[in-house]
Copies of this chain bind each other. A is one copy, B any other.
Amino acid sequence: MEESKPDKREAILQATMELVAEHGFHDAPCSLIAERAGVAAGTIYRYFENKDVLIVTLYRELETRINAALEEGYTQEKPFRERFMHLVTGLLKFFITHPQEFKYVEQFHNSPYGVAFRRDRIINHSEECGVYGELFKQGMAQQVLKDLPLVLLFDLAFGPIVSVARNHILGFIQLDDVLIERIAAACWDSLKC
């Protein structure tokens, strides 16, 4: 009796993440999601209006978890470069310790869902408001970072991270703390003045 209600909601989200991570949005039919979640197919629709809503909701929750992980131990007091390294290595470590979360987020970005989603965000300038946005804007103001459009700074910093994480997860490279540090440093090199 210990377990609270929204058990099933969680189970459905978890099953969705696993299946999409493993097989892509294709081959993650509702029937399989339900089966893996240990619920009936119809039950999905008590918690999520339809499959699209399920998929977007899951993405939002993962993003929240990622942000929470990154903000842990992050403090304005540290020197600029250290803060950058904290965030970049943090993100990379989160990805490689949460391969399913990573794969899901990647799949999401490369799908009609993801494009529409990002479009909204960019139009609303909400990207500039996150931890990273603040950091980068500050860096440019202090002339520590190259003076480039914010979007490009993101690309330079995270493009490699995502790429590296994918290769680690697929087993094409084996990361360790030293390597992670060197990768983050290389990202720093590409951004710094």
Contacts from A to B (Cβ < 8 Å): 23-27, 106-107, 109-112, 115, 118-119, 122, 146, 148-149, 151-152, 154-156, 158-164, 167, 170, 172-173, 179, 182-183, 186-187, 189-192
Contacts and interface: CB of A to CB of B under 8 A. Distances in A.
A29 B167 CA distance: 30
Given A25-B26, A107-B110, A189-B190, A160 B155 contact: yes
A146 B186 contact: yes
A151 B174 CA distance: 10
Copies of this protein in the assembly total: 4
Contact of A172 (B25, B26, B118): B118
Max chain B C-beta neighbours (<10 A), residue from A107, A170, A172: A172
A37 B183 CA distance: 45
Contacts of A118: 170, 172
Nearest to A111: B24
Contact of A151 (B154, B167, B186): B167
